[in-house]
Structures are given as C-alpha cells and as structure tokens.
Amino acid sequence: MALASLSKVVLGSAAFGVFWVLAVFPSVPFLPIGRTAGALLGAALMVVFHVISPDDAYASVDLPILGLLFATMVVGGYLKSAGMFGHLGRLLAWRSQGGRDLLCRVCVVTALASALFTNDTCCVVLTEFVLELAAERNLPAKPFLLALATSANIGSSATPIGNPQNLVIAFNSKISFVGFFLGILPAMLAGMAVNMVMLLCMYWKDLEGSSPDAVAAEKEMAAVEEGRRPSPATSTTLKSPGQTMLVQSPSLVAAADHDSVMVESISTKHRWFIQCSAPQRRLFLKSFAYIVTAGMLVAYMLGLNMSWTAITTAVALIVVDFRDAELCLGKVSYSLLVFFTGMFVTVSGFNKTGLPGAIWKVMEPYSKINHVRGITVLSLIVIILSNLASNVPTG
C-alpha cells in the first residue's frame, strides 16, 4: 500500500502513538485514563483526523472475534460456577509427592486448562488453589505462581481459544481449529518441558517442604504445648446450649458458593425441578455444563464456525440455568471487548496511512521463511514488536 498524504501520515501516526502510549503505560501521569479508554481515544482520533471514515471504522471492527471472546467468557463463568476449576485444584493436590512434583503438576495442568478455557481465566481461578497448596506444604509461593503464569501463556498458544491473540491469527488466516492445534502442539510441548526444567533448576532447594500431614501434626503439637485445643484446617464446630454452628474456612465457603451458583433461585415454574431433590438438580446442571462444553470443543474440531458455536453454547447454558443471566453476564470483561473494538479501529486507521506497509517492504527481503536467517529475523521482529507495541497481531 502506497503512503497516504503527508498530513494523513502525521495525524494517523500521532493517533496511533496516543493509543500505544496508553496501552503500554495505562497510568501515564499526563493522561491516566487506562488502556481501554486509550483504545477508544485512538479510534476517535483516527476518525476526527479523517484518517479513516466512520463507515470504514465500523467495518474494521471484527465482530466474529468479539462474539467469540464474549461467548468464551460466558461459558467460562458457567464452568467456574459448576466447579470445573475446583476439580482442577483437587487434581493438583491428589497424591502429590512433594514440592517438585507439585510444581510439575501446576505446569502441566495449567498449560492444558489454559488451552481450553483461556489463560486469563485459569490464572485468576487457579491462583487461590496454588497458594493454598503451597501454604499447606510450607513451600514458597513464588515458584508455583511463576509456573502458573508461564504455563498459562505457553499452554494457551496451542488453540485459537487459548487467548485473544490466537483468535486474530486463526480468523484472519482461516486456519481450522485442528490445523492450528496440530501446528502449535509440538512447540507448546517443547516450551512446557523447557519451562518446567528451568523452574525446577531455579528453585530445586526451595521445593523441599513438608507434607500436609506433617504440617498438620506440627500445628497440633504446637497447639497442645500452648494448652489449647487445635482447630481443624477445614472447619470448626462451635457448640452452645441447644445450638451447633459450623464455621468453615474462607476457601471452602468460596468453593461452596461456586458450586451453588447454578442451583440457587431456580424458578418454581419448572415442575421437573420441583420434583427433583437439590442434589439431583445440582448434578443435572453441572453435567449439562460439562456436556455442552465438550460438545463445543467437538464442534470446533469438526470445523464449525467457532464464533457461533461458542455463542450457541453460552445461550444453551443461560437457558438451562432457568434464572436471570445478569449474574453471569455481569462477570464478562466488557472492558476487554471495548479495548479490542478501539484497537481494531486504531490499527485499521494506522494501516491506511501506508506506513506499516512501507516498513514491511524494507524488512520483507530479510524475513523470508524459506531459510533459517529469514525465520530468525522474522522471529526477532515479532518478539520486539510484541513487547514494545502490542502482541495482538492485527493489521
């Protein structure tokens, strides 16, 4: 694409510069409005400066990507309510053989989960479980949190739904879900193995902790020495004349809340639910959430439209939940959707200046992927730009 007029190049570059500064430094002192508002500001400046027309600005917004992002967050919310991530947390602790074994489990489970449920969701939900497991074993939290963060990014690279950046690549390149997965899988497995080995080498001595039983025994002995009765880690029964009250730990209360979200306030208009016991209703709703999510993944593999497959799955979960969806819809990260909307317009306007195309013409001869030097140069360009500008491959 040829360079546009000088005024359009200057104004478009200025608008993109504003977007870039606020995306990289959201709390910049002279305009601390954040990334989301910065993306909207960049988009508005592109239109105000006549770099891009209003119609072209609307057309540049990629609705399939936004729809898939929205639906994926809704499905993730219902899976969280159904206790899916609680099961993953228990999988981390099941027959754990020490700190090193636990670190490897965190790497593997997080990588696999982030490939299916997005890296953001996994990091937010699994952090609590990882911190609890580390505390139970008298282990430092830092190695496990690093394992969680790095593995979530590595694992999410394996599928188009792992993170928003992959969605852009998959949609624009028309790569199928299975093709994308098979193409990235070897690199993902290699990255996961290297990451695991590096973390073990860095924190080998720090991962020598006590087992949960040993920690519990130490606490009990300490309590006995102090002349106090030890309180169990999970719950405490407080008794008074004619009254018994169970006080649970915050983590168990939170887990119970997650498990009960999908069964509370069920409409009395549905006779089948009235006739079923509470455990039966809970089992039905959880099973339905797992089954339709598995069906969604199968549909992806069969090559069905990813955006509408995810939207249909989200709607099915909302309908079967039999209550106002405001609670679940309120947990959607709308700021992320707005950020992407503004970014699409801003990047589209910047492309219309012709400057990105001119830069690429200079770099293209040195970044051919048919030889090692070209692949190396292209990789370095992507690494540098993804850290300095944005890792969302739009344009």
Q: Are 217 and 206 in contact (CB under 8 A)?
A: no
61, 73, 58, 53: which is closest to 8 by C-alpha?
A: 53
- 369 pLDDT more than 50: yes
Residues 93, 251 contacting (CB under 8 angstroms): no
Percent over 90 (pLDDT), the chain: 28
Does 235 score more than 50 pLDDT?
no
Tell me what pLDDT residue 274 has.
57
Weakest mean pLDDT among 47-51, 185-189, 279-283: 279-283
pLDDT for 100-145, tens place per residue?
888 889 999 899 888 887 787 788 778 888 888 888 888 888 899 9
The three state secondary structure string of 224-293 is: HHCCCCCCCCCEEEEEECCEEEEEECHHHHHHHHHHHCCCCCCCCCCHHHHHCCHHHHHHHHHHHHHHHH
305: helix, strand or coil: coil
pTM (two decimals): 0.72
Q: 236 forms bridges with which residues in the sheet?
A: 247
Whether the predicted pLDDT of 58 surpasses 50: yes
**DSSP code of residue 210:** -
**Residue (of 16, 35, 18, 17) closest to 26 by Cα position:** 35
Give the residue, 384 or 222, on which the prediction is more confident.
384
Residue 237: predicted pLDDT: 42
3-state secondary structure 108-175: HHHHHHHHHHCHHHHHHHHHHHHHHHHHHCCCCCHHHHHHHHHHHHHHHCCCCCCCHHHHHHHHHHCC
Mean pLDDT, the chain, rounded, equals: 79
The pLDDT tens digits of the residues spanning 27-41 come to 888 888 999 999 999
pLDDT digits (tens, 9 = 90+) for 251-293: 433 444 444 445 444 444 455 555 666 677 778 888 888 899 8
Q: By percentage, how much of the chain surpasses pLDDT 70?
A: 80
Confidence category of residue 10, pLDDT binned at 50, 70, 90: very high
Q: Where are the domains of the chain?
A: 83-213, 362-395
**How many other CB atoms are found less than 10 A from the CB of residue 200?**
17
The listed range with the strongest mean pLDDT (22-26, 48-52, 217-221) is 48-52
Q: What is the reported pLDDT for 90?
A: 78
